[in-house]
Amino acid sequence: MDDNLHKVINNAFTLAQELGHNIITTEHIFLSLLDDTNANNFIKNLGGDTDELHMQTLNYLHTFIQKSIELQKPIYTAPLENIFSTMINLSNSANKPLVDIYDLLIAITYDKKAYSTMLLESQNIQRVDILESITNMDKDKGNQIDKANNPLELYTRELVSLAKSGKIDPVIGRDEEIKRVCEVLCRRKKNNPLLVGEPGVGKTAIAEGIALNIANNDVINEMKDCKIYALDLGALLAGTKYRGDFEKRIKDILNTLENINNAIIFIDEIHTIVGAGSTSGGSIDVSNLLKPALANGTLRCIGATTHSEFRNHFDKDKALSRRFAKINVDEPSNEDAIKILSSLSPIYEKFHNVSYSKEAIESCVVLSNKFINDRFLPDKAIDLLDEAGAYFKIYGKTKSKKEKSKKIKINRADIEFLVSKNTKLPLSQNLDEKVLLKSLKKRLQSRIFGQSEAIESLYKSLLKNKAGLGNANKPIGVFLFTGASGVGKSELAKELALNLNINFLRFDMSEYAESHTISRLIGAPAGYVGFEQGGLLVESIRKTPHCVLLLDEIEKAHESIYNLLLQVFDNATLTDNSGNKADFRNVIIIMTSNITAKNLPTLGFGMDKNSSHDKSIKDLFSPELKNRIDCICHFNNLDDNCLKLIIKKQIQDLNSQLKNVTLQLNANVYDYLLSLNFDRSLGAREIARLLDIHIKTPLSELLLFGNLKDNAKIQVSCKDNKLDFRHF
């Protein structure tokens, strides 16, 4: 007798005592059965109203079973004892180890005179219904037991059955790789293909593609009946408490696979089997358990791993790697990636309740390939497609209630918006770029004075790149600004970044004058201090891939850094000590140098007017580096008109710093400042020093101790060769 049945009989005994009965009838037992959760649910599943049955049975006991004046220990009635005998016989005939509540329920139906039987029949519950339901329950239990005992059900997923049920996405553009995998699988020995490729290129999709072909009967005859089991190594390891548990699970899987015709096992991230399950000092791991089966062809295995993991882990075990046929999986082209996304888009459209235009799908591929540099197609393009659907499903594109109910159409501009949002690119870089570029030259000339020809050269070079006439695999532009100190070389780089709404990065190359300092840019070699920290330049570009990069005073850097810049100027990539690559394709690189300052012409502009410029640059750079510079911009010395404009600009900047105070300079103040004794060759820096001494110092005293009113105006004029500050 199982615990549930024991509890039901005890409850019936207690119920009889509570009702004041000296006998226990079939109805006492039936009422106790209705109070049992399992029996109650069982009767409900048969269509019975258990509440109604409970009420009618209780009324029967109150009406037809008399209360005893002298309470004694209740005894079983003869019909109930017959039911118990029937129950035991039923259990024995079914070879059951324990009698349960279902045997009791069937036994009750054998007593046609029992009120409980009549109640069940009144609700169309016959004995045959009970028997049929119990049989189905036994089948389900048997299936659960079989599943619990089948290691393939516990630790693998059968991909072909998933493909038949439509749970695997279509695979496009991998026909050659799938054919190659099938060829290896049809070998007599060492029939184990190993898919090696970068993360996200679709290695797992190839295994799923084979499963889809098998499900669609689109494979060679030798593989039509194949089943592919994807191993879940995490589930395999989980719960192995004692030594030997893990090995037993592996052997169970191998033994089960040997008994299945045309079974193929797929192990994603197969490098993890090297060392998995081994104990300290032990040599037994998953790979060693698999080797015999892999070598003799009894087990066919498809593996997948990345190039780095294959090199660092898998290939070191030569006995394991020789049993596999390596198949390289390359990143698909833009055209193939567009086909992949086009086939997947209906699935994502249905999930997100949106629709993607053809231009949006193409933009997902093109823009992700251009701006998302640390991942690979088609994975990054699919993620962008998915994120676009999720974003506009959540936030929509309009506030109109009528339009919100319609399916949202995602177009190219929406994809551009998401790329800008995720990569920290300015929105105007994609949407209003023409307007921004058209006014760029005027805005730069309004902030940088006396260098119109240098700005013109920079502007034209940028236009060529933005028009698509530049090399897509090189930086946006590589420029060299030469000229005397203080003429606006670094300032032009800052203003360019500000007007393009992109980040500005500055590296003072005087900090990299020694040969060993190159390690600060790309990281220290292995075994040296700072190896784990990476390189400053590589990390900066990886964090801000779209920026203006200023290499200030490039002539002070060590010559080995020039060799480093060769690959940056030519291929727009730089690799640090850990193998991380920085992409410079969206970077404007500007170098500044005053090496030609002594040879700058006093009049005119350009290298053609003075060959000494070219000679100075030849002495600084090697020919191969010089040829990779897009434009060399020479900055003129500043005349008095330019210096006056610089003073006005700095006064405007000063006014933006002041709070509730406005500073104004009379025209004679400019002439007075320029008449002072200062080194004009230092340009704007000397002007800043003059303003510090003659304007900012007396202004600071006035701000602190002058009792100024709110929104005060301070007028500066020149009287008797002295500056006069008045406020009102």
Count CB-CB contacts under 10 A for residue 217. Answer: 7
pLDDT at res. 572: 85
Residue with tokens 């701000």: 703
Give me the architecture of the 334-423 domain, per CATH: Orthogonal Bundle (1.10)
User: What's the CA gap between 353 and 357, in Å, rounded?
Assistant: 14
User: What's the CA gap between 452 and 447, in Å, rounded?
Assistant: 11
Using alpha carbons, select from 343, 345, 339, 253 the residue that is nearest to residue 299. 253
The residues, ordered by sequence, that sit 6+ positions from 518 with a Cβ below 8 Å of its Cβ are 512, 558, 560, 561, 564
Q: How confident is the model over 484-506, as a mean pLDDT?
A: 84
Tokens of 94: 């079914």
User: What's the CA gap between 166 and 177, in Å, rounded?
Assistant: 22
Helix (H, G, I), strand (E, B) or coil at 316: coil
Q: What's the pLDDT band for 428 if we cut at 50, 70, 90?
A: very low
435 exposure class (CB count in 10 Å sphere: 0-12, 13-18, 19+): exposed
pLDDT at res. 443: 85
Domain ranges of the chain: 3-147, 153-328, 334-423, 434-634, 640-727
CATH number 3.40.50.300 given to 434-634: yes
Q: How confident is the model over 158-168, as a mean pLDDT?
A: 84
Using alpha carbons only, give the angle 250, 255, 261 rounded to the nearest 5 degrees. 125
Q: How confident is the model over 249-260, as a mean pLDDT?
A: 80
Residue pair 442/593 in contact by the 8 Å Cβ criterion = no
pLDDT at 645 over 70: yes
pLDDT at res. 544: 83
Helix (H, G, I), strand (E, B) or coil at 354: strand
Q: What's the pLDDT band for 468 if we cut at 50, 70, 90?
A: low
Which H/E stretch holds residue 103?
A: helix 101-109
DSSP tag of 631: E
pLDDT at res. 599: 52
Q: Which amino acid is at 485?
A: S
Task: Identify which of 193-197, 318-322, 574-578 has the greatest average pLDDT.
Answer: 193-197
Q: Which amino acid is at 439?
A: S
pLDDT at res. 610: 52
Contacts 24+ apart (CB under 8 A), 617-621: 617/480, 617/482, 619/595, 620/554, 620/555, 620/593, 620/595, 621/562
Q: How confident is the model over 421-442, as a mean pLDDT?
A: 66
pLDDT at res. 282: 47
pLDDT at 85 over 80: yes
Q: Which has the higher per-residue pLDDT, 240 or 40?
A: 40
Question: Please, what CATH class does the domain formed by 640-727 belong to?
Answer: mainly alpha
Mean pLDDT over the full length of the chain: 79
pLDDT at res. 612: 58
Least confident interval from 94-98, 186-190, 206-210, 379-383: 94-98
pLDDT at 276 over 60: no
Length of the chain: 728
Using alpha carbons, select from 571, 564, 552, 416 the residue that is nearest to residue 491. 552
User: What's the CA gap between 223 and 210, in Å, rounded?
Assistant: 10
Tokens of 461: 């070079």
User: What's the CA gap between 373 and 513, in Å, rounded?
Assistant: 31
Give me the architecture of the 153-328 domain, per CATH: 3-Layer(aba) Sandwich (3.40)
Helix (H, G, I), strand (E, B) or coil at 283: coil
User: What's the CA gap between 618 and 628, in Å, rounded?
Assistant: 13
User: What's the CA gap between 477 and 548, in Å, rounded?
Assistant: 10
Least confident interval from 157-171, 463-477, 533-547: 463-477
pLDDT at res. 597: 59
Question: Please, what CATH class does the domain formed by 3-147 belong to?
Answer: mainly alpha
pLDDT at 325 over 70: yes
Q: Which has the higher per-residue pLDDT, 343 or 524?
A: 343
Residue pair 478/629 in contact by the 8 Å Cβ criterion = yes
Q: Is the peptide bond prior to 378 cis by the omega test (within 30 degrees of 0)?
A: yes
Q: What's the pLDDT band for 598 if we cut at 50, 70, 90?
A: low
pLDDT at res. 119: 86
pLDDT at res. 609: 47
Using alpha carbons, select from 306, 294, 299 the residue that is nearest to residue 269. 306
Q: What's the pLDDT band for 603 if we cut at 50, 70, 90?
A: very low
Same CATH fold assignment for domains 153-328 and 640-727: no
pLDDT at res. 520: 82
Q: How confident is the model over 197-217, as a mean pLDDT?
A: 86
pLDDT at res. 240: 64
10 exposure class (CB count in 10 Å sphere: 0-12, 13-18, 19+): exposed
Q: What's the pLDDT band for 611 if we cut at 50, 70, 90?
A: low
User: What's the CA gap between 678 and 687, in Å, rounded?
Assistant: 9
pLDDT in tens, 672-714: 777 776 766 676 777 778 888 888 888 887 777 777 777 778 8
pLDDT at res. 545: 81
pLDDT at 143 over 70: no
Q: Which amino acid is at 511?
A: E
